[in-house]
Amino acid sequence: MSDNDPTLFDDLRALDKACGHDTSKNDRAIVLLAACIERGVNTRARLVAVLKHLGFTHSHLAIMLNDGVTCSSHVSGTSLSKPAT
């Protein structure tokens, strides 16, 4: 799935809207990150680029990904969660 696929953004916008106004921005970001990964948008750079297009900030997404909010599995050989120290 291409990051430039208009159906990707339409689907993500619909999903974000379905989350509702009472859903926190963090929870909405988690749902959208998971949806991106399911659609093949599975690297940190691509995830951030797609969600920035939907109005999330780079710094917010970076904090979430660094804290391992999305998943701890390896995606495309790179862990999305914070490396163990």
Domain chopping of the chain, boundaries: 6-69
Query: How many other C-beta atoms are found inside a 10 Å radius of the C-beta of residue 48?
Result: 20
User: Quick one: average pLDDT of 53-58?
Assistant: 93
Q: What angle do CA 44, 79, 35 make, to 5 degrees?
A: 55
Decide: helix, strand or coil at residue 64.
Answer: helix
Is the separation of the CB atoms in 46 and 53 below 8 Å?
A: no
Summarize pLDDT for 6-49 with one digit per residue, the tens.
799 999 999 999 999 899 999 999 999 999 999 999 899 999 99
Instruction: Tell me which of 50 and 4 has the higher pLDDT.
Output: 50
Is the separation of the CB atoms in 61 and 48 below 8 Å?
A: yes
